[in-house]
Amino acid sequence: MHAYETLYINGKWVPSTGTKSLSVTDATTEEIIATIPEGTAADVDAAVTAARAAFPAWSELPKEDRAAYLTKIGAVLEARTDEIAEAITKELGMPIFLSKMVQVGLPKGNFAVAAQLLGSYKFEEQVGNSLVIREAIGVVGCITPWNYPLHQIALKVAPALAAGNTVVLKPSEVAPINAFILAAAMQEAGLPAGVFNLVTGVGPVVGEAIASHPGIDMVSFTGSTRAGKRVAELASQTVKKVALELGGKSANIILDDADFNKAVADGVGKCFFNSGQTCTALTRMLVPRERLAEAEKIATATAEGFTPGNPFEATTRLGPLISETQRDRVRGFIQQGIDEGATLLTGGTAAPEGLDHGYFVQPTVFSNVTRDMTIAREEIFGPVLSIIPYDTEAEAVEIANDSIYGLAGGVWSGDPERAKRVARQIRAGQVEVNGGSFNIMAPFGGYKQSGIGREAGTFGLEEFLEVKSLQL
């Protein structure tokens, strides 16, 4: 077990003003693998003071110099790929080969994109007799989740720093080791003191202190819709800018002319990736009623190929969930699906065979799910797929949009133009067409209660900029 005893504030590792610590658990073995400081509001205040002091010099630094720092940070992360991937696989449970590609690859990409954008982005433009200037907001508070822990940190921190802001970060307390590695990378890259600050702790203390602090000019939050509402409520008291990336219950419409072998199998994979702990997971599969039996057969066979097990073993395709709380919550949703009359095709509430230790859940598929069922409406955040039959294309679109969420979606059709036409009707921020791959440069964010604002690419950079006009 490793004890992390300090926070990273003003370019130094310093003890918390509090005396308590939090335990970090291995999702596979249920053993405690680390402890971290349980930070306080006073720690946040110290971090904000440091960030405010560092802001003028950092924001006035030539953009080429800021880009150079971001590139250095990315290089340090690259050199520590194995260490980061191993830490996240222990914290979270994602199979190790995927952790290297996704949990480390995406954060490195985010720093590279932020540096690249600085080379071409125009911070000033002439509009009539006005010079329109985009400039840094100030101190940004970043509150991040545990499911893609370093990626979600980098998706905020890299563009915030690129824009000229300084940062106070609160990572998830259940997957924080990667954040300590990032802070060390910042220090190794020579980032000026106070530009990046790390305060660990729990949401009701550190998170709320960040959201409500008058010295923080913007808060960027990724997490549950419930917690996001609380962040927005607290931030409103100082009228600070808020960016929110929240929950999802994304629909995957498979049209009657789609290649079902390809579309259904891909849809199961998109639902089960990271053990279903993905905000964009395609958890509602909408299929034509006349082809329901065909979809059920393919989905069942595909799901049963997602072998649960130790994420450090090469044969494992489905790791554990993050915690006991999550495991019990997901099993509770599976039981609700059974109780409400959905057809259980595979999986269930019992632990996978031979996996009595660790936070494992069986890969589970329900069919004959109706739109009013709990499993069709609530974000489960586990490997649970709901197959919903529909009768017409119009009904499929209606069911897809019958949700408080609007984060992501998917459409499959043998006719690409038909697929795009249906995709345009889905009220969501990002829609895959025939399995279109994730684009690190594309704007990412939600409609409705899935959030406010966009991350990634140019749109993500602009979230961290104010707009000023000089009337000439």
The question of whether 245 is a catalytic residue gets the answer yes
Q: What is the structure's pLDDT at 451? A: 97
Number of other CB atoms surrounding residue 205 within 10 Å? 18
Q: What is the structure's pLDDT at 132? A: 98
CATH number for the domain whose boundaries are 251-441: 3.40.309.10
pLDDT, tens only, 65-90 = 999 999 999 999 999 999 999 999 99
Mean pLDDT of all residues in 40-59: 98
pLDDT, tens only, 371-391 = 999 999 999 999 999 999 999
pLDDT, tens only, 170-223 = 999 999 999 999 999 999 999 999 999 999 999 999 999 999 999 999 999 999
Residues 6+ apart with CB under 8 A from 89: 95, 96, 99, 103, 311, 312, 319
Compute the residue count for the chain: 472
Which among 173, 279, 296, 432 is annotated as catalytic? 279
Residues 6+ apart with CB under 8 A from 313: none
What type of residue sits at position 262? K
Confidence of residue 1 (pLDDT cuts 50, 70, 90): confident
Does residue 251 contact residue 284 with C-beta atoms inside 8 Å? yes
Does residue 143 contact residue 472 with C-beta atoms inside 8 Å? no
Number of other CB atoms surrounding residue 52 within 10 Å? 17
Which among 208, 245, 296, 432 is annotated as catalytic? 245
Say which CATH topology domain 2-245+450-471 has.
Aldehyde Dehydrogenase; Chain A, domain 1 (3.40.605)
Domain ranges of the chain: 2-245+450-471, 251-441
Confidence of residue 335 (pLDDT cuts 50, 70, 90): very high
Confidence of residue 13 (pLDDT cuts 50, 70, 90): very high
